[in-house]
Amino acid sequence: MKKTVIRSLKPLVNRHMTPAPKTTSQPGPNLRRALRLLSTGALGLAAIVLTVFGLNGCAISTPFRSTDAPSLSNTQADDGRVIVVITEATVTREGRRDFSAGSAAIVAGLDRQPGLLGYSVRKELFGERAWTMTAWRDRASLELFLNGQPHRRVADRAGDMLSGGRFAQTEIEESELPLSWSEAMRLLDAENRAYTPN
């Protein structure tokens, strides 16, 4: 009797105890998109970083470096103030290498430049723009730098390297140094004095 009941219940149990179909975990559409981008290599990773963190237009700058270079004279700008010059250069794709080499040569000599109080440089991480901020004891020191080497040599070739640029000059108390880059950019935008490469 017992065996008969078990035999008769077996088909019923089998019908209701059928194992669930096997499934494989599939990544969602966002994960699939990220994996596809990652598979493209370093460029894909850079694209993810740029998209997620919005680094387009992001720039890095060096700390303001004070110099011990001697002055040309004991004079300062009017009323004992110092001169700050801010420049912005937009570098062409073809001119990047020459601009980088020329800029490096200029920066290498700044610590020995007479009358220079300090400087900072800034560059876009993923762009074509570069900036400088220099502070000068007097106008004679600034003119000597602008007309001296290697600055004159690089400036004469600006037309081969740059598509445009801007600059600003202001006089401040020496105690106000260093200017922040946000203040320097505000001054640059306020003056908005464009220069056209030769």
N residues, the chain: 198
Cis peptide before 178 (omega within 30 of 0): yes
Same domain, 76 and 49: no
Determine, yes or no, domain membership for 25.
no
Q: How far is 75 from 72, CA to CA, in rounded Å?
A: 8
By percentage, how much of the chain surpasses pLDDT 90? Answer: 58
Q: Of 56, 71, 98, which marks where a domain is finished?
A: 56
Is the pLDDT at 22 greater than 60? The verdict is no
As given in the structure block, the two tokens for residue 124 are: 């876009």
45-54, 62-71, 146-155 — which is least confidently predicted? 45-54
Q: What is the pLDDT of residue 110?
A: 93
pLDDT band for 74, please (50, 70, 90 cuts). low
Which residues lie closer than 8 Å to 108 by C-beta, 6 or more apart?
A: none
Q: What is the pLDDT of residue 62?
A: 95
Residue 28 is classified by DSSP as: -
Residue numbers of the domain that contains 51: 32-56
Assign 132 to helix, strand or coil. strand
Instruction: Give how far Cα 123 sits from Cα of 88, 96, 97, 103, 113, Å.
Output: 9, 12, 14, 11, 22
Same domain, 75 and 124: yes
Q: Could you read off the pLDDT of 162-175 as tens digits, one per residue?
A: 999 999 999 999 99
Same domain, 101 and 190: yes
Q: How far is 28 from 26, CA to CA, in rounded Å?
A: 6
Determine, yes or no, domain membership for 131.
yes
pLDDT band for 148, please (50, 70, 90 cuts). very high
CA proximity to 153, closest of 86, 198, 88: 198
Rg of the chain taking only CA atoms, in angstroms: 32
Determine, yes or no, domain membership for 26.
no
The CATH number of the domain holding residue 85 is 3.30.70.100
Q: Count up the domains in the chain and report the number.
A: 2
The reported pTM is 0.68
Is the pLDDT at 16 greater than 90? The verdict is no
Are 86 and 61 spatial neighbours (Cβ–Cβ below 8 Å)?
Answer: no
Residue 35 CA to its chain's centroid (Å) = 28
For the chain, the average pLDDT equals 78
Q: Could you read off the pLDDT of 87-130 as tens digits, one per residue?
A: 999 999 999 999 999 999 999 999 999 999 999 999 999 899 99
Determine, yes or no, domain membership for 19.
no
Determine, yes or no, domain membership for 123.
yes
Q: How far is 48 from 37, CA to CA, in rounded Å?
A: 8
